[in-house]
Structure 1
């Protein structure tokens, strides 16, 4: 597709830039690795304890569940509303309007039958 002189020139210059920045990036990465080896990240090791997969499985067998502080919200799958009559926060306004329109339509049909 792009075979114009301008695009060829741009590709050529991007290749030159890639080469120049590649050298700088390599030097920067080497410096980071050197500093990481010197520091040994002692602070990070003190912050957590490592557990193996076997330890985690054993912990789950004991019946320990993850502590969740938030209470779960129950939504009615038919109306998509919670116990207070509100729609979930993750639902888009377009979807809310669509659901309301369908509910209104069903209510009209039900009233018409009576």
Structure 2
């Protein structure tokens, strides 16, 4: 930002607002925590907490080293109708198992990713050639 008088004034006012609203937020959070503690005391007497709930299922991300794959969710009455094909996207290349990009991704971003992947592939080939040369010597 420029160092004009207006920008300096705005920065100063932002700091003051942050302080003022920070106090209000802190008070609200304290009230919420107190109410939650009161409600927990009431609920713990009435309803036992259950981990297995029919409406949701908590799924944790499996570790890479474990090598154990998770089972797919069972088909239920609330399952959305699809073409029956499960699409698994690679987080690095953003492509599915067939090599297609997601429908929601713009064509500009797809072109950018393809150029980046092409560049990285060339760098890997060059590095492999360098390693071969060093081994021969």
* Shorter-chain TM-score range: 0.3 to 0.5
TM-score by length of 2: 0.38
* Higher gyration radius (CA): 1
- Point out the structure with the larger helix share: 1
